[in-house]
Structure formats: C-alpha cells, structure tokens
Structure 1
C-alpha cells in the first residue's frame, strides 16, 4: 500500500509526512506537511538560535553571560544587541507583563453597610 503524498509547506517537494493541528483547522487547513530535509533544517536552525526563553535577565545565547543590569534596557526589541562579555550580536526582545488590581475606595463605603 502506497502512503498518501503531500506537498512540503516549506520547499514544495512531495512528502508522505503530514501532521494534523492539535486544536483543529487553522486558516482552513487541518494540518501541515514538511519533508524530512526541511524538518532537519528547521531543527538545525532552532538549535543554532539557542533561544533563552523568558529569563529574568538578558542572557547571551553565545556565552551564557547574564547581564545583571538588564533593567536598564529601555527598548522592546533590538536585532543588533551585543553581549557585554563576548561582544557577539544577538536578537533581544523585552517582554513586559502588566497586571492591574482594582478595589473600591473605603471612603465610598455606604454608611451602615454590613458586608452584604
């Protein structure tokens, strides 16, 4: 029995590889195809990037240096940031989480309010 052939979404070559999306269709498609060569290239690129996900301080993906003065970085994004120790360039994104807390003002409490 011959496997169904699909077209690789990256290079356009025929491939038997097909993966369904976990959460259902996306943009009218049930899944995606990627050939073995493109999968190897994608995995190689991801390993090369050495992404340092959601660190408390700027961490160099080259030498591992942790910048303890990261709080001084003002921009949201820098595609030419240089490590302070090894001097090599890397892409830097600053992710900021904002949360809010709200409550009634005590001075607006109605007289005689008993908590109900």
Structure 2
C-alpha cells in the first residue's frame, strides 16, 4: 500500500479536527451540566423553572418573607445565546411576584436559572 504525503496529512488533519470538535462539545456540555444555581437572596422564598410549553422561557416566583422591601429578578444562562435577565420586581414584606425572561431561539435553551438581588 502506498501512501502519499498528501493523504497522510489529510488523515492527520481529519483526526485533529475530529478531536477538537469532540473536545469543544464536551466542554460545552460540562459547562451546562456542572453549572450551579446561586442561592436565593436572604428574606425571599423562590421557586424557579421553565415555562410549561416553552423551554426557552424561565421564571422566578418569589415571596418576601423578610421585614424590608426587596427587589429581585430572574437570570437565565442561555447556552449558545447571550444570557438574559428578567424584569426587576420590587416586593414589600408579605408580597409575592414573578420575573420572567426568554432565551433567544438561536441558542440551546436554558442551562441555568438563578434569582438575583
């Protein structure tokens, strides 16, 4: 079997490209799966999640259990698309409210949802 230098170079290049793509994919997956949500700010009780029929829309539903007025918003990590923040919600003690945000459809969907003070 006779191999030319061109076919060897193409084979090596193909292997490098394949390994590089696999490594980039593994990194992207590990970033999404190993991300941890930030703790809920003190004085707030919050539930977070994705919209029932839209995997690109996330929410934070919070109650102010403290004694002072608090402001919060939802923050979505959106994979390939830019991260987004929801509207800022201000709650007096005893009140509840919801902040929502939507990741761009070009992305891979929501990778993490957190509540920001």
TM-score, normalised with respect to structure 2: 0.29
Specify which structure has the bigger relative contact order, considering alpha-carbon pairs within 8 angstroms and separated by 6 or more residues: 2
Q: Which structure has the highest strand share of the two?
A: 2
Higher helix share goes to which structure? 2
Larger radius of gyration: 1
